[in-house]
Chains A and B, each alone.
Chain A
Amino acid sequence: MEPSLLPIDILDAQQGFPEALAACKDLDGLMRLKGVYIGREGSHSARLMELLKAASKERKRELGGAINVLKNAWEEALKARQSELEAARRQLATFGNTWDPDLPPPIPARGAMHPLNQLIDRLVDVFRPLGYHVEEGPEIETEAHNFDGLNIPADHPARGSADTFYFEKYPELLLRTHTSPVQVRTLLRLAPHIQEKGGIRFLAPGRVYRKDEIDPTHSPMFHQVEGMLVGHDIGMHHLKGTLAYAMKALFGPAAEVRFRPSYFPFVEPGCEVDVRCPLCGGSGCRVCKQSGWVELLGAGLVHPNVLAYAGIDSNIWSGFAFGMGVERIAMMVSQTPDLRLFFENDQRFLKTMGGLD
């Protein structure tokens, strides 16, 4: 094409077009540029169309060709730039709609079950597969249930007001000193049905009270979990098998139990049960005082007098019972240094110790 065919201002515009196009950083600018070059009125191409109309017949053909080339070049370049800018805008829009996942998210509030309740529930779960259900009794008990029914002699020191809380207006009532009265209540209730039920087995968790001053290892209120089984021909081997199973379920397959003779009025024979230290695995540590064993609970075969009190024939039925201190195990397992933390209820303690179910 002959440049001379076109007016000088159009040639300038043509020369400046690539730069102007590149300078358009957004669609608004591009629309303005589009208006200047190929708009319907007043644009460079509108002026070219007027020129073409006014041109002589012989020049029309040549000029028309040149104008078309020019217009097409502008249009295509503008179109290409437009789709470029539109793509950029879309990308920007997408980006604007996305939340930066690294910003702190709203976290649902985390509460916690109390560690002592967690441990009790855990024990219930451990014994559930063996057919134990949960029995409970009141915290305010009678002397009959708390002592008499458990073969505890009338002059036993535990009955004294130095050890046991009594009530001002009801001399026969006390705050239970252990969960063992639940044995008495349950045996009394189930004795008439023991044959059809095929024995008795249950776990009795609960709060108990003893007249101890509050210090890092003592509390006037604490929790126990009592377990009892009555069946035919029950012996010490069944107690051992049951506790060995339970301790493995609680502490892992390496847990082992050890029996030592001991004495509780409501069992015969009686024993203390130690478990292989769950913290050091038996190699010796501060918790087990280097012995490799930690004392876990008291247990034994149900004393015939306890069965007799409930009207159960000890020639036909026999059983075992065990009782553990929940705080004791909780402190041992968690290495909590002070018992009082369990009753202070600082949320920081509860959240780290209790956790969720």
Chain B
Amino acid sequence: MLIEIKALRQELPGLCDIEPLALCELLASLGFPVDAVDTSNGATVFEVDVTANRGDVLSHRGLARDLAAKLDMELSTLPVTTLREGAALLPVRLESEACPLYATAILELGKAQGTPSEVQVFLGHMGASAKNLPPVDASNEILHRLGQPTHAFDADTLQGALIVRWAREGEKIVTLDGVERTLTHQDLVIADEAGAIALAGVMGGDSTKVTAATQRVLLESAFFDPRTVRATAHRHNLHTDASYRFGRGADPAMAQMARDLLVQRLEAWAGAKLVGAWTAGAVPPTAPPIPYNQTLLERVAGEPIPRLEALALLKRLGCQMAPEPGCLQVVAPSWRHDLSIADDLAEEILRLRGYAKIPSALPPLEGAPEPLSKDYLKRRQLASKLAHLGFCQTVTYGFVDPLESQEGNPQVDEQAWRTLKNPLGEEYSLMRGTLLRDLRDTAALNLDRGAREVRLFEIAPVFVAQPQDATTPIRECWTLALAWAGETGGEDPLTPVRKVSALAGKSHLIGVLKALDVPDAAIRAFERWPLAGVVGGAKNQLGWQFEVSLEAIPDAADRVIPAFKAFSRFPSVERDLSLLVKLDQGYRPLADAMTAKVRTSAREAFQELRCVDVFRHKSLPEGRQAWLLRLRFQHPARTLTSEEVDGWMASALDVARSLGAELRG
């Protein structure tokens, strides 16, 4: 909202002593921060930010009133002579509760002198150009000065009675902006007997507008229900100065006064003669009184506030006190639609005292704090671990492009359930079912920008449609995704260069997953899933990626220190077995068979079997590779003899042989 300092000072002369900068601070302390100050047009104009609940300050008079309450100053008297109303010159029928009050007047315009230049300048500062049509300019000026929107019709274009009613479904009106609008039965209109002539509280109609040729005007100064005005403005996407003010709640008690001021201006500016003034309906009853609550006030304020001081502040805001037996009742002024409960009054008292005066204290702990949730801790620890393993955490949007989503999901129909109705664009319309696509794109972006090595991870929910579940039709499943691409090493004399895309790169990523305690079953899904796992496509592979549901990763342990596990103090024996195996020999079946066999004989002395080297070379027999298997034995209660270890190794070799392996000479 724009506020001209000169006009503000006219409403509150006490402000003349306050510098614009101090005024900005003052306004901010009242809850109306000044977003910008414009001094470019020979005047100081503030752009003031007003919260949605304060329709009463959307004018110079309104803002001055709040400042007057704060500073305990007097507003200037409005130069208004109350008109003597007479009989209705034409019937005004209020057919809807959304318009309880309609003040009007008919004037004959005289020889036009035009809008005074200072008013033209003022309107210019308000961002509105003067039309030099006194009825229009005067209405506009009163809106900015007093906050009451008014309207002038060309009285000679009206046909019969004036009716404020709900529009008929499909009824048409051409508004002042020249647009034909089709109305619904929820739009409130001003109509004459030929049809709608204005969208109530939003915009006048084109057919009845005031022009340079207009000789008689009918003025409108009414009160319209805020919700109705907001809905109509929203429905027709027609946001005007009038709808802004009516939509946030105008002051019904201001309607007649604004009409009187408008009449006075037309008499002065256009030599107009009043034909008659009258009002249909009445000022709506004030909201129910609010019980005054001293205990609540002091609880909210955090300190004792003398009752007299509090009541004096409310009075300065225009509240009236209605002492009822046992409880003081506060009646809010007609312009304050936002005050309805005792908490609202407490806020007003604190606001006028200044929030800076609120003391500062920590609330006492009333119960035992709860532990941090396992899910949160798990994610936090995972992120920290991965960062220490050299991975960077990414954050990407939850919605993706459905066309590019290669989620490997055969049920494309399922996507429909995860689709947004009003996305920012088609490319952001699907709630993603995997993180891999975004991770792949991010990896590619980094490689394109010259990164040698990319190590990324994201922890975020993916969305799974389950339309059969009425309570949670879209499940959110927290997921970890990892990508490793490019080439690593080669930047110091001790670390050789290694391409992550080489076959072994997948093994490195699996190593990371094992370090995160991702169970083997979940990792095997990765092994069966080579295409989705490749960054950069199968042919031009640049690296590997993987995703796993966080549910599959165990929670952080509850224990402060893990339970003691006995370890053997007797020597451990390691023996290597160098085997020639077929090139297509799978490691797992061989290792599993050997382990099973050795475990039956060595029992608790068997510790582990692992492959520590793979050798493939043309010097080896055709179709064969060499594996170096290391077996480790350690007995919990005694030292092992070399004879028994020899026996176990022999049995391990037997199993290997039965599977086609032979001892490498």
Contact = CB atoms under 8 A, between A and B. Distances in A.
Interface of A: 103-114, 116-117, 121, 124, 128, 130-136, 138-140, 155, 157, 160-161, 165-170, 173, 175, 196-199, 201-202, 207, 209, 211, 213-214, 220-221, 229, 231-238, 240-242, 244-245, 258-263, 268-272, 301, 303-304, 318, 342-348, 350-351, 354, 356-357
A268 B339 CA distance: 11
A128, A133, A268, A346 pick with most chain B CB within 10 angstroms: A268
Contacts of A133: 369-373
Contacts of A166: 420-422
B649 interface: no
A260 B29 contact: yes
Interface residues of B, number: 95
A121 to B, nearest CB: 6
B347 A261 contact: yes
30 contacts: A110-B390, A111-B388, A111-B393, A114-B383, A140-B431, A155-B231, A165-B423, A167-B418, A169-B416, A170-B473, A198-B368, A201-B369, A211-B424, A231-B363, A235-B300, A235-B301, A236-B355, A236-B358, A237-B301, A238-B363, A242-B362, A260-B29, A261-B29, A263-B31, A263-B52, A318-B299, A345-B392, A345-B396, A347-B451, A351-B392
A211 to B, nearest CB: 6
Contacts of A107: 492
B386 A111 contact: yes
A205 to B, nearest CB: 8
Nearest to A268: B343
B51 interface: yes
A228 B230 CA distance: 32
A117, A270, A345, A350 pick with most chain B CB within 10 angstroms: A345
Contacts of B376: 124, 134, 136
B13 to A, nearest CB: 25
A303 B456 contact: no
B367 A197 contact: yes
Contact of A173 (B364, B473, B494): B473
Contact of B234 (A160, A214, A241, A270): A160
Contacts of A197: 367
What are the 4 A-B residue pairs with the smallest beta carbon separation, nearest first? A198-B367, A109-B390, A237-B302, A261-B31
Nearest to B302: A237
Nearest to A209: B398
B528 to A, nearest CB: 28
Contact of A112 (B54, B344, B387, B423): B387
Given A109-B390, A168-B421, A238 B361 contact: yes
A252 to B, nearest CB: 17
Given A221-B398, A259-B356, A260-B31, A346 B362 contact: no
A231 to B, nearest CB: 5
B372 A304 contact: no
Interface stretch (B442-450, B540-548, B585-593): B442-450
Contacts of A351: 392
Nearest to A137: B476
Contacts, number: 254
A347 to B, nearest CB: 5
Contacts of B363: 229, 231, 234, 238, 241-242
Given A112-B392, A168-B419, A271 B355 contact: yes
A235 B389 CA distance: 46
Nearest to B388: A356
Given A103-B492, A261-B351, A108 B420 contact: no
A16 B365 CA distance: 98
A269 B347 contact: yes
Given A111-B392, A347-B446, A237 B303 contact: yes
Interface in B376-397: 376, 380, 383-384, 386-397
Contacts of B388: 111, 356-357
Given A113-B393, A234-B299, A260-B355, 10 more contacts: A106-B492, A111-B387, A114-B393, A140-B463, A168-B419, A170-B473, A211-B422, A263-B31, A269-B300, A351-B392
Given A170-B473, A229-B363, A236 B369 contact: no
B347 A155 contact: no
Given A166-B422, A242-B363, A357 B390 contact: no
Nearest to A315: B296
Interface in B388-414: 388-399
A231 B361 CA distance: 14
A6 B373 CA distance: 100
B567 to A, nearest CB: 29
A350 B397 contact: no
A196 B299 CA distance: 23
B579 to A, nearest CB: 33
Nearest to A260: B28
B338 to A, nearest CB: 8
The dominant DSSP class at the A interface is mixed
Interface of B: 28-31, 33, 51-54, 227, 230-231, 234, 299-303, 341, 343-344, 346-347, 350-351, 355-356, 358-373, 375-376, 380, 383-384, 386-399, 416-424, 428, 431, 442, 445-446, 449, 451, 453-456, 460-461, 463, 467, 473-474, 476, 488, 491-495
A342 B399 CA distance: 16
A354 B394 CA distance: 10
Contacts of B474: 140, 167, 170, 173
Contacts of A105: 492, 494
A148 B61 CA distance: 34
A242 B363 CA distance: 8
A32 B449 CA distance: 65
Contact of A231 (B359, B366, B390): B366
Nearest to A129: B369
Contacts of A134: 372-373, 376
B203 to A, nearest CB: 19
A106 B495 contact: yes
A241 B390 CA distance: 40
Contacts of B227: 155
B394 A241 contact: no
A209 B383 CA distance: 23
B31 A161 contact: no
A356 B387 contact: yes
Given A114-B395, A236-B301, A343-B395, A259 B355 contact: yes
Nearest to A301: B300
Nearest to A202: B370
A166, A202, A234, A237 pick with most chain B CB within 10 angstroms: A237
Nearest to A130: B362
B445 A344 contact: yes
Contacts of B488: 109
A247 to B, nearest CB: 12
A238 B369 contact: no
A307 to B, nearest CB: 11
Contacts of B473: 169-170, 173
A130 to B, nearest CB: 7
B397 A244 contact: no
A235 B299 contact: yes
A140 B432 CA distance: 12
A344 B351 CA distance: 43
A109 B455 contact: yes
A110 B343 CA distance: 53
